[in-house]
Amino acid sequence: MTLLQLAWSYLRARPLPALLNVLLLALGVGTIGFVLIMDKQIGTNMNRDARGIDLVVGAKGSAMQLILAGIFHLDAPTGNISLQAAQELSRNPLIRRGIPLSLGDSFRGFRIVGTNADYIDLYGGQFAAGHGGKKPMEAVLGSTVAATTGLVLGGQFIGSHGLVEGGPAHADSVYTVVGVLKRTDTVLDRLVVVDTESVWLVHEGIIVDADERKVLEAERQITVLLVQYATPLAAVSLPRTINDETNMQAASPAYESARLFRMIGVGADVIKAFGAVVLVTAALSLFIALYHALSERAYDIAVLRTLGARPSSIALTLLLEAMILAVLGSALGLVLAHVMVAAMAAAIAEQDSLRLNALQFSWRELWLVLPALLAAFLAALLPTWRAARTDISSTLARRG
Amino acid sequence: MIGIEHLRFAYAGGADVLQIDAFVVALGERVLVTGPSGCGKTTLLHLLAGLLLPSAGQVIVNGQDLAQLSPAARDRFRGRTVGIVLQQFHLLPTLTVLQNLLIAQRMAGLPIDRKAAGAMLKTLGVADRLDASPHQLSVGQQQRVAIARALINRPRVLLADEPTSNLDDEACAIVTDLLLQTSSDHGACLLIATHDSRLKSRITRQLALPRTAVEAVA
């Protein structure tokens, strides 16, 4: 028979108020936990997707849009840039590597990216089956694409024009799957990677006439160029040079991601504040419950004291009740947070924009127990103090 | 044993509600504290249990002057040396019968001894209700559990406050027998505060408190 058992017996005797307090605490912890998990996962994903890319060069327009389209494959691209200009830029000594991306087509909602082998290397992509495309019209599937579409090696498909599902099909251009990638937990999982040549082939058709071919080749375009600097010093001059002296635009993923995060952050702060308000409400409710218990249990407290209980034992019992509720509330809250992430993941799965994993747990989430414990502790402070000071003799005399 | 010397008790700012010049209870002796309602019977029991401290004079229980103890030591002393049976037999309602005895061991800072608790309940004839809730017990069973709880830590002094006030003659006789029997089994002094005249035939030594102490002073 411990004080913990005694505290538990009181909670069990009045399950409904206890449940209400647990639920309130859970809602507060859950809401804050939800925001923190989302924050963490979105941040991690964005960092992973942008890793190794110092600059994105594309058509003029919104820098944010360029980043969203060029790195995260979320938004529509700002336009195209000339292949010639991109190739010229790639030869700049400040640039170690430039990876061209050609966007515009998709397969069942997954973007088809015309690029070269560097793009798969950038994300450390490894082949689960097959190999990288060597010829035009050979396609490598990201793991999610393969899993969702059910396409396997040797499978054939037709790309459709436009980045969303349902665009007109390029019926005469058939891609063949030659490779399937292992999961990388990056944006690569959701992409179909083909050789840049393929995209031109699909859109130009097979040209036999040599002159016409020359004209078309001179007009060839790509969508963006992902740039890796040769030296950190490039950050000082290169973006400005591109923005001022060419009709292209250079955008920094680090800067734009930070800007995006600040915008999301306002929303996150609002939800976190809501969670804090719920926690305060929970503390208040707990305080009222404990205070009520105090008058209801005055005689019990007096009896315990006649049995030799010290005032501190009485106070501790009440405090333990609050702490039990806090621990239960936080545990339920953490479950709730992950359920909310799962619900969010399900809700946005259609848009295929954010990758969320509701089953990804972190030991750091246990820190969320602290605000609940603190709320319970503060709520219990006055009631425990009063309980410890209960006048036993007069309490007993009143009823005895 | 119990020794009282020049005891005065008054609530803060009030007149004396209790005054006893000298009273001694020997080991194993039984005493009836009598007098009408409001004469200070309960106050005396609370003084003997260290729940109240005298305004003047001394209360010595088992050789210990209660006023000399620190509050924590007094709580411990109460848990181990004094057993109290309250008028309503107040059992802790959220605990089982057995747990009501175990919590008494725990609160006195003694090791939990389920066997002793079970044996005590068996002696008092409620061994079959160990896991029952207090509200599932009859009044008679509640009395027995309350007495068992008061005795579980083998106190030297057993105090009972109006244990028979709401009982019919038969139940009154049973409770009185129980208190007399168990206190003598455990070699404890027994003090029963009561205005129940039925007990007078059973316990001969009486400490009769005057109608009110204030009157006595006057």
The answer on A282 and A183 residing in a single domain is no
> Rounded distance, CA A4 to CA A220, Å?
76
Q: Does B16 touch chain A (CB under 8 A)?
A: no
- Between helix A392-399 and helix A298-306 the angle, nearest 10°, is 120
Is the CB of B79 less than 8 angstroms away from the CB of A307?
A: yes
Smallest Cα distance from B75 to chain A, Å = 5
The answer on A295 and A246 residing in a single domain is no
Is the CB of B93 less than 8 angstroms away from the CB of A299?
A: no
Average confidence score pLDDT of chain A: 89
> Rounded distance, CA A6 to CA B95, Å?
7
pLDDT at B195: 84
Mean pLDDT of all residues in A87-101? 92
Instruction: Give the CA-trace dihedral at A273, A274, A275, A281, to 10 degrees.
Output: 110
Which among A251, A270, A299 is the end of a domain? Answer: A251
Is the CB of B46 less than 8 angstroms away from the CB of A397?
A: yes
Name the phi and psi angles at A52, rounded to 5.
Answer: 85, 0
> Rounded distance, CA B149 to CA A303, Å?
11
Kindly list the residues from chain B whose CB atom is less than 8 angstroms away from the CB atom of residue A13: 93-94
> Mean pLDDT lowest for which of A86-90, A174-178, B123-127?
B123-127
Which residue of B75, B93, B112 is in closest CB contact with A309? B75
Which residue of B92, B102, B107 is in closest CB contact with A308? B107
Smallest Cα distance from B26 to chain A, Å = 23
**To which residue do tokens 């709580």 refer?**
B75
Cβ neighbours around A91 below 10 Å, total: 8
> Rounded distance, CA B41 to CA A400, Å?
11
Chain B residue nearest residue A305, CA to CA: B75
> Rounded distance, CA A185 to CA A182, Å?
9
Which among A214, A232, A251 is the end of a domain? Answer: A251
In three-state form (DSSP H/G/I as H, E/B as E, the rest C), the secondary structure along chain A is CCHHHHHHHHHHHCHHHHHHHHHHHHHHHHHHHHHHHHHHHHHHHHHHHHCCCCEEEEECCCHHHHHHHHCCCCCCCCCCEEHHHHHHHHCCCCEEEEEEEEEEEEECCEEEEEECHHHHHHCCCCEEEECCCCCCCEEEECHHHHHHHCCCCCCEEEEEECCCCCCCEEEEEEEEEEEEECCCCCHHHHEEEEEHHHHHHHHHCCCCCHHHHHHHHHCCEECEEEEEECCCCHHHHHHHHHHHHCCEEEECHHHHHHHHHHHHHHHHHHHHHHHHHHHHHHHHHHHHHHHHHHHHCHHHHHHHHHCCCCHHHHHHHHHHHHHHHHHHHHHHHHHHHHHHHHHHHHHHCCCCCCCCCCCCCCHHHHHHHHHHHHHHHHHHHHHHHHHHCCCHHHHHHHHC
Is the CB of A9 less than 8 angstroms away from the CB of B99?
A: yes
The answer on A31 and A129 residing in a single domain is no
The answer on A61 and A156 residing in a single domain is yes
pLDDT at B212: 59
The answer on A180 and A59 residing in a single domain is yes
pLDDT at A267: 86
Is the CB of B94 less than 8 angstroms away from the CB of A3?
A: no
Q: How many structural domains does chain A have?
A: 2
Which of B:47-76 have CB within 8 Å of A? Answer: 49, 51-52, 71-72, 75-76
Domains (ranges, CATH) in chain B?
28-50+68-204 (3.40.50.300)
Cβ neighbours around B23 below 10 Å, total: 15
Is the CB of B51 less than 8 angstroms away from the CB of A305?
A: yes
Identify whether the C-beta of residue A380 lies closer than 8 Å to the C-beta of residue A286: yes
Is the CB of B94 less than 8 angstroms away from the CB of A310?
A: no
> Rounded distance, CA A279 to CA A233, Å?
48
Residue A93 scores a pLDDT above 60: yes
Average confidence score pLDDT of chain B: 88
Which residue of A3, A300, A311 is in closest CB contact with B92? A300
Identify whether the C-beta of residue B108 lies closer than 8 Å to the C-beta of residue B76: yes
Cβ neighbours around A18 below 10 Å, total: 20
Smallest Cα distance from A4 to chain B, Å = 11
Kindly list the residues from chain A whose CB atom is less than 8 angstroms away from the CB atom of residue B76: 308, 310
Is the CB of A310 less than 8 angstroms away from the CB of B88?
A: no
0.90 exceeded by pTM: no
Q: Does B186 touch chain A (CB under 8 A)?
A: no
> Mean pLDDT lowest for which of A214-218, B6-10, B42-46?
A214-218
The answer on A277 and A329 residing in a single domain is yes
Chain B residue nearest residue A314, CA to CA: B107
> Rounded distance, CA B32 to CA B193, Å?
6
Q: Which domain holds residue A349?
A: 3-46+260-399
Model ipTM?
0.90
List the beta bridge partners of residue B192. B32, B160
> Rounded distance, CA B40 to CA B210, Å?
9
**To which residue do tokens 């926690």 refer?**
A279
Chain A residue nearest residue B99, CA to CA: A1
DSSP B67: G
At B218, the pLDDT band (50, 70, 90 cuts) reads very low
The answer on A242 and A271 residing in a single domain is no
Chain B residue nearest residue A296, CA to CA: B93
Taking CB atoms and an 8 Å cut-off, how many pairs form between chains A and B?
Answer: 90
pLDDT at A365: 84
Residue B214 scores a pLDDT above 90: no
pLDDT at A332: 96
> Rounded distance, CA A52 to CA A45, Å?
14
> Mean pLDDT lowest for which of A287-291, A337-341, B84-88?
B84-88
pLDDT tens column, A142-184: 998 999 899 999 999 998 888 777 777 777 788 999 999 999 8
The answer on A236 and A317 residing in a single domain is no
- Between helix A15-50 and helix A369-388 the angle, nearest 10°, is 150
A248 residue type, one letter: M
pLDDT tens column, A109-151: 899 999 998 999 999 999 999 888 888 899 999 998 999 899 9
Which residue of B79, B93, B95 is in closest CB contact with A308? B79
> Rounded distance, CA A302 to CA A88, Å?
89
Is the CB of A399 less than 8 angstroms away from the CB of B88?
A: yes
Round the CA-based radius of gyration of chain B to a whole number and report it. Answer: 17
Burial class (CB in 10 A: 0-12, 13-18, 19+), A172: exposed
Smallest Cα distance from A3 to chain B, Å = 8
Mean pLDDT of all residues in A84-98? 92
Mean pLDDT of all residues in A90-116? 92
Q: What element of type H or E holds B179?
A: helix B169-185
Which among A210, A233, A251 is the end of a domain? Answer: A251
Percent of chain B with pLDDT over 70: 96
pLDDT tens column, B156-212: 999 999 888 777 888 888 888 888 988 888 889 999 999 888 998 888 899 988 865
Is the CB of A308 less than 8 angstroms away from the CB of B84?
A: no
> Rounded distance, CA A23 to CA A281, Å?
11
Is the CB of A307 less than 8 angstroms away from the CB of B80?
A: no
The answer on A287 and A378 residing in a single domain is yes
Round the CA-based radius of gyration of chain A to a whole number and report it. Answer: 31
> Mean pLDDT lowest for which of A41-45, B28-32, B132-136?
A41-45
The answer on A59 and A41 residing in a single domain is no
Cβ neighbours around B137 below 10 Å, total: 18
Percent of chain A with pLDDT over 90: 56
The answer on A135 and A19 residing in a single domain is no
Distance separating the N- and C-terminal Cα atoms of chain A: 27
The answer on A176 and A136 residing in a single domain is yes
**To which residue do tokens 């027994």 refer?**
B190
> Rounded distance, CA A253 to CA B109, Å?
66
